[in-house]
Amino acid sequence: MHLLTPAWWRGVALFLTLILAGPLSAVDAPVRPRRLLIDHDGHLLFSTLTTNYRADIDEEVREIPANVTTFLLCCGAGRFYYPTKVGLVDPNLKQLIAEHAKGNDPFGYFLGQLKASGRETFITFRMNDVHNPVSANDWNTPLVRVQHPDAIARPEAAARGDPEWMNWSLDFSRPETAAYVADMLREVVGRYAPVMDGLQLDWMRFPRHLSGTGDEVWAKREHLTRIVELARELTKAHGLKLCVRVPSTPRGCRVLGLDVADWVKRGLVDFVTVSGFLDTDYEMPIGEFRAMFGPAIPIYASVEAEHGWQTHCPESLRGAATGLYASGADGISLFNFVMRAAFGTVPYDWLAGIESPATAARKPLLFSVPVAKYRKEMDLPGLLPRQIPAHSAVTFPLPVPALALPAWRARILLAADGPLAATLGGRAIEFIPTVHPTELFMEYIPPANNSSNIGSHRPPRDQSLFYRLEAALLKPGANTLELRNDTDNPVEVTRINLGLW
Does the pLDDT of residue 369 top 60, yes or no? yes
Output the average pLDDT for the chain: 92
Q: What is the pLDDT of residue 169?
A: 97
Residue 58 pLDDT exceeds 90? yes
pLDDT at residue 12 greater than cutoff 60 = no
Same domain, 73 and 200: yes
Banded model confidence at residue 251, pLDDT cuts 50, 70, 90: very high
Q: Is the pLDDT of residue 10 over 80?
A: no
Domain that holds residue 466: 386-500
Q: How does pLDDT run across 113-150, given as a tens digit for each residue?
A: 999 999 999 999 999 999 988 888 889 999 999 999 99
The C-alpha atoms of residue 232 and residue 116 are separated, in whole angstroms, by 25
pLDDT digits (tens, 9 = 90+) for 451-484: 554 446 789 999 999 999 999 999 999 999 999 9
Domain stops at, among 275, 299, 327: 275
Q: Are residues 91 and 218 in the same domain?
A: yes
Please tell me the distance from the alpha carbon of residue 113 to that of residue 94, in angstroms, as a whole number.
23
Q: What is the pLDDT of residue 138?
A: 85
User: Which whole-number Å values give the CA distances from 188 to 34, 49, 191, 269, 464, in the listed order?
Assistant: 27, 22, 5, 18, 50
How many CA atoms are closer than 13 Å to the CA of 271, on its beta-carbon side?
22
Phi, psi of 275 (to 5 degrees): -155, 150
CATH code assigned at 436:
2.60.120
Residue 170 lies in a domain: yes
**Average pLDDT, integer, range 63-90:** 97
Mean local confidence (pLDDT), 408-416: 98
DSSP 8-class letter at 296: S
Lowest-confidence segment of 30-39, 208-217, 338-347, 376-385 by average pLDDT: 338-347
Of 255, 275, 295, the domain-final residue: 275
Distance CA 174, CA 479 (A): 47
Distance between CA atoms of residues 36 and 441, nearest Å: 24
**Any idea how long the chain is?**
501
The CA–CA distances, whole Å, from 20 to 24, 45, 67, 389 equal 11, 55, 35, 61
Higher pLDDT, 5 or 59: 59
Number of domains in the chain: 2
Asked if residue 8 has pLDDT above 50, the reply is: no
Positive or negative CA dihedral for 318, 292, 273, 309? Answer: negative
Q: Is residue 238 part of a domain?
A: yes
Mean pLDDT of 392-405: 98
Distance of CA 3 to the CA centre of its chain: 62
Q: What is the pLDDT of residue 30?
A: 80
- Work out the percent of the chain whose per-residue pLDDT is above 70: 91
Distances (CA, A) of 414 to 367, 384, 424, 456: 12, 11, 14, 17
Q: What is the pLDDT of residue 247?
A: 98
Residue 457: the pLDDT is: 78
Phi, psi (deg, nearest 5) at residue 468: -110, 135
Give the Cα separation of 334 and 363 in Å (integer). 20
Give the model confidence (pLDDT) of 150-204 as tens digits.
999 999 999 999 999 999 999 999 999 999 999 999 999 999 999 999 999 999 9
Output the domain CATH number for residue 216. 3.20.20.80
Rg (CA), the chain: 25
Q: Evaluate whether 121 touches 73 at the Cβ level (below 8 Å).
A: yes
CA distance 128 to 131: 9
- 488 belongs to a structural domain: yes
**Facing residues of 492 across strands?**
387
In a domain, 70, yes or no: yes
| Residues ≥6 apart with Cβ < 8 Å to 222 | none
- E strand intervals along 104-171: 120-126
| Residue 250 and residue 101 share a domain | yes
Residues 269 and 391 occupy one common structural domain: no
52 and 192 part of one domain? yes
Q: Are 409 and 472 in contact (CB under 8 A)?
A: no
Q: Does 26 score more than 50 pLDDT?
A: no
Report if residue 52 sits inside a domain. Answer: yes
CA 430, CA 415: separation in Å to the nearest integer?
Answer: 16
Range with lowest mean pLDDT among 131-140, 215-224, 253-262, 381-390: 131-140
Q: How many CB atoms lie within 10 A of CB 272?
A: 23
Best CA proximity match to 292, nearest among 252, 250, 257:
250
- For residue 125, what pLDDT is reported? 98
Average pLDDT over residues 244-270: 98
Confidence of residue 278 (pLDDT cuts 50, 70, 90): very high
Q: Given pLDDT bands bounded at 50, 70 and 90, which one contains residue 85?
A: very high
Whether 457 maps to a domain, the answer reads yes
Question: What is the mean predicted confidence (pLDDT) over 260-272?
Answer: 98
Q: Tell which of 227, 257, 275 closes a domain.
A: 275
Helices (H), 173-259: 175-192, 215-219, 222-237, 250-256
Query: Residue 224 falls within a domain, yes or no?
Result: yes
Least confident of 54-58, 180-184, 442-446: 442-446
Q: In this structure, are residues 32 and 272 in contact, taking their beta carbons and an 8 Å threshold?
A: no
Mean pLDDT value of segment 22-42: 77
Phi, psi of 447, rounded to the nearest 5 degrees: -65, 155
- Residue 320, in any domain of the structure: no
